[in-house]
């Protein structure tokens, strides 16, 4: 009888253990980039209706200065994803080189992004480009330069993906240039005959203003735009801003600083970076690359709407063993309110090459959020230095890239595309 009880307990423990494993996340490398093809995937993915993923690399391609690529899911019953290079940037001419942003996809399947250099022959300050899919599958995609930045009032060094409203108007930021050489918000409107015209809506950096945009813009339901700057604000430690575009062409928009980081204490975080996200209540969430206590490894923060400056709540301060130095923003799971993100470095005792983390909201509002490490990168094999935003698909799976690591060539520095399933 005692033996039967013992066997029963063992079977129960095995069942519990198997259930825990089944409930845990699983990591898969979708693709390891190579020096002979394309390498250094720059950022995160966008997804089309068929589940194809699109991204960019900073290196490789026909001319060695970067590509736009597609990863297609395996056929039914298969396991291998297929990579296709859609476009190779040129190391000469005016088409731009070295992509600097994630991509944006429109309803026609066209892709939009920015390059850090190239374009105007005098300045080579980067371009905003559009890639148009072919009418016949398998034919070449076509690149169109929508604007080449010139370092004047129109800005230079575009470093973030663009957003597009329902009328097809494009909004973006540059890191430098403008009236105070601290970056701009620009607008690109489609014109007749496939032309596009740029308008500068705002120049950062005047008299304690936010300075040096360091992440993409975010729309709210009214069409207002939100973003972060790595410098400026009341304490020159970075800011979160809101910009209301002008109602009519030729009018002025309105910029407001919602929150200034620093303030005599590093606990609130410093140097905000990456994209912002909204929850259903209108709260904003983001990350900082530094601050968060004596270690200064960065924080995840929440900003709650208020009259004047918004109220900050630090949800989590990284301590090194759970990662440090976020470089990309956040992704919200609308089903359960969880937040996903990456750190560019992790526990040095476990590889130190970055992590994917999850923050789970408390059952009772006001209680601490719970941080979980979903994946610890070890550089060789499963990748290292995740620098792009996580993509959450309709099945609850996560997709991302790492700038370094992987299996093939580059001395392990080529990067990978990965998936985390639950």
- Of the candidates 410, 350, 404, 405, the residue with the CA atom closest to the CA atom of residue 375: 350
Mean pLDDT of 35-46: 91
Q: Which secondary structure element, helix H or strand E, spans residue 6, and what is its range? A: helix 2-23
350 band by pLDDT with thresholds 50, 70 and 90: low
Task: Kindly state the tokens that stand for 172.
Answer: 């973006």
pLDDT bracket for residue 5 (50, 70, 90): very low
The SS3 call for residue 268 is: helix
Start-end of H helices in 157-267: none
Read off φ and ψ for residue 288, nearest 5 degrees.
-120, 150
Whole-model pTM: value is: 0.90
The answer to whether 91 and 75 are in contact (CB under 8 A) is: no
Per-residue tokens: 320: 């090194």
**What is the average pLDDT value for the chain, to the nearest integer?**
88
Give the 3-state secondary structure percentages of the chain, helix then strand then coil, rounded to 5: 10, 45, 50
**Mean pLDDT (whole number) for 258-272:** 88
Mean pLDDT throughout 314-318? 94
pLDDT of residue 140: 93
Mean pLDDT of 90-95: 86
Q: Please tell me which residue, 36 or 330, carries the higher pLDDT value.
A: 330
pLDDT at 14 over 50: no
Q: How many CB atoms lie within 10 A of CB 51?
A: 12
Q: Is the pLDDT of residue 86 over 80?
A: yes
- For 201, the token pair is 């809506």
Give the pLDDT mean for 370-385.
87
Q: What is the pLDDT of residues 96-122, one digit of tens each?
A: 999 989 999 999 999 999 999 888 888
Flag whether pLDDT at 339 surpasses 90.
yes
Residue 133 predicted with pLDDT over 90: yes
Q: Could you read off the pLDDT of 197-216 as tens digits, one per residue? A: 889 999 999 988 999 999 99
Name all domains of the chain by residue range, CATH numbers in brackets: 98-202 (2.40.10.500)
**Minimum mean pLDDT range among 80-89, 281-290, 308-317:** 308-317
List the structure tokens of 283.
């709260």
């Amino acid at each position: 009888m005692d033996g039967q009880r013992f066997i029963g307990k063992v079977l129960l423990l095995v069942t519990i253990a198997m259930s825990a494993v089944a409930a845990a996340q699983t990591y898969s490398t979708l693709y390891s980039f190579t020096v002979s093809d394309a390498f250094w995937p720059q950022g995160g993915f966008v997804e089309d209706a068929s589940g194809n993923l699109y991204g960019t690399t900073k290196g490789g391609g026909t001319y060695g200065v970067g590509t736009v690529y597609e990863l297609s899911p395996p056929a039914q019953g298969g396991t291998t994803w297929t990579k296709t290079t859609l476009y190779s940037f040129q190391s000469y001419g005016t088409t731009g080189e070295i992509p600097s942003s994630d991509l944006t996809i429109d309803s026609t399947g066209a892709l939009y992004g920015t390059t850090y250099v190239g374009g105007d022959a005098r300045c080579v300050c980067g371009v905003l480009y559009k890639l148009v899919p072919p009418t016949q599958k398998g034919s070449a995609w076509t690149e169109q330069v929508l604007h080449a930045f010139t370092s004047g009032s129109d800005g230079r060094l575009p470093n973030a993906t663009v957003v597009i409203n329902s009328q097809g108007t494009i909004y973006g930021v540059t890191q430098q240039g403008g009236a105070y050489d601290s970056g701009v918000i620009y607008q690109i409107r489609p014109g007749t005959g496939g032309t596009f015209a740029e308008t500068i809506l705002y120049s950062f950096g005047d008299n304690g203003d936010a300075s040096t945009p360091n992440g993409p813009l975010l729309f709210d339901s009214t069409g207002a735009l939100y973003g972060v700057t790595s410098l400026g604000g009341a304490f020159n430690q970075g800011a979160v801003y809101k910009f209301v575009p002008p109602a009519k062409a030729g009018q002025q928009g309105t910029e407001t600083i919602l929150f200034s980081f620093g303030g005599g204490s590093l606990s609130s975080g410093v140097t905000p970076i990456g994209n912002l996200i909204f929850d259903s209540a209108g709260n904003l969430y983001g990350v900082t690359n530094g601050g968060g206590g004596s270690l200064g490894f960065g924080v995840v923060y929440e900003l709650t709407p208020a009259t004047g400056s918004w109220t900050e709540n630090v949800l989590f301060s990284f301590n090194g063993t759970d990662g440090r130095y976020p470089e990309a923003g956040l992704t919200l799971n609308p089903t359960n309110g969880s937040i996903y993100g990456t750190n560019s470095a992790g526990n040095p005792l476990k590889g130190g090459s970055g992590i994917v983390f999850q923050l789970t909201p408390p059952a009772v509002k006001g209680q601490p959020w719970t941080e979980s490490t979903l994946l610890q990168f070890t550089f060789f094999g499963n990748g290292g230095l995740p620098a792009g935003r996580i993509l959450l698909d309709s099945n609850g799976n996560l997709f991302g890239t790492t700038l370094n690591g992987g299996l093939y060539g580059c001395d392990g520095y080529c990067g990978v595309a990965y998936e985390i399933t639950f």
